[in-house]
């Protein structure tokens, strides 16, 4: 029976699973985006988000804790120096999973897991959407002075024609 066993074992023994998740977490930290199956991405998201939260406070204890999970000095350095600066104001949700379809060989559902603050395309779209957004009341106020302006220009022209 599997009572109260809530995480996905991914068809692997404990040591293999921990090693695989650590390697995937290192790749995600170094490359900011990796392609994998949906089940592995969901397991990786649960594994890496607490590590990213630990990366926000740069203390010796948090560095040692993260290193005990990742076992890679370069990844720990990258996390505490660069990534922690970008995610400092974000309260959680550091990763995003984007489904990409099904793998040709075994029809496994594939996806891309990425760090949210490093996707420049989505950040540009979000800024463009904020700039393009207008309110109804504001649009009416802007339209009213624009409608009055041509009348003001027409009035002096009519006065000049009447004067001649």
Evaluate if pTM is beyond 0.95: no
DSSP letters spanning 21-72: HHHHHHHHHHHSEEEEEHHHHHHHHHHHHHHHHHTTS--HHHHHHHHHHH--
What CATH number does the domain containing 101 carry? 3.90.1030.10
Question: pLDDT, tens digit, for every residue of 96-135?
Answer: 999 999 999 999 999 999 999 998 887 778 777 776 666 7
- Look at residue 150 and tell me if it is in a domain: no
**What is the model's pLDDT at position 78?**
96
Please report, in angstroms and rounded to a whole number, the separation of the first and last CA atoms in the chain.
Answer: 102
Q: Are 99 and 38 in contact (CB under 8 A)?
A: yes
Nearest to 99 by CA among 22, 37, 7, 23: 37
Residue 128 falls inside a structural domain: no
Place of tokens 């594994």: 47
| Phi, psi values for residue 61, rounded to 5° | -65, -45
Give the pLDDT score at 79: 97
Identify the pLDDT of residue 156.
55
For residue 36, tell me if it sits in a domain: yes
Q: Report if residue 123 sits inside a domain.
A: no
Query: Could you read off the pLDDT of 56-67 as tens digits, one per residue?
Result: 999 999 999 999
**Would you call 123 helix, strand, or coil by DSSP?**
helix
Confidence of residue 45 (pLDDT cuts 50, 70, 90): very high
Residue-wise pLDDT for 68-107, tens only, equals: 999 999 999 999 999 999 999 999 999 999 999 999 999 9
Whether 7 is in a domain gets the answer no
Q: Which two tokens stand for residue 106?
A: 């075994």
Contact between residue 38 and residue 109 where contact means Cβ atoms under 8 Å apart = yes
Q: Name the residue range of residue 75's domain.
A: 14-118
Asked if residue 66 is part of any domain, the answer here is yes
DSSP letters of 99-118? EEEE-TTT-PEEEEEEEGGG
Report yes or no: 101 and 37 within 8 Å, Cβ to Cβ: no
- Tell me what percent of the residues of the chain surpass a pLDDT of 90: 68
Question: Residue 62: inside a domain, yes or no?
Answer: yes
The total domain count for the chain is 1
């Amino acid at each position: 029976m599997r009572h109260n066993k809530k995480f996905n074992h991914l068809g692997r023994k404990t040591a293999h699973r921990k090693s695989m998740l650590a390697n995937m977490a290192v790749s995600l930290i170094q490359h900011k985006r990796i392609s994998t199956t949906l089940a592995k991405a969901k397991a990786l998201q649960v594994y890496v988000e607490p590590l990213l939260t630990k990366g926000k406070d740069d203390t010796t204890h948090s560095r040692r804790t993260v290193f005990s999970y990742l076992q890679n000095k370069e990844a720990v350095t990258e996390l505490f120096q660069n990534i922690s600066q970008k995610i400092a104001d974000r309260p959680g949700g550091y990763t995003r999973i984007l489904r990409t379809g099904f793998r040709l060989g075994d029809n496994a559902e594939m996806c891309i897991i990425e760090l949210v603050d490093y996707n420049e395309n989505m950040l540009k779209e979000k800024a463009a959407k904020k700039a393009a957004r207008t309110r109804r009341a504001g649009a009416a106020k802007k339209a009213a002075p624009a409608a009055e302006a041509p009348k003001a220009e027409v009035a002096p022209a009519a006065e000049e024609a009447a004067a001649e």
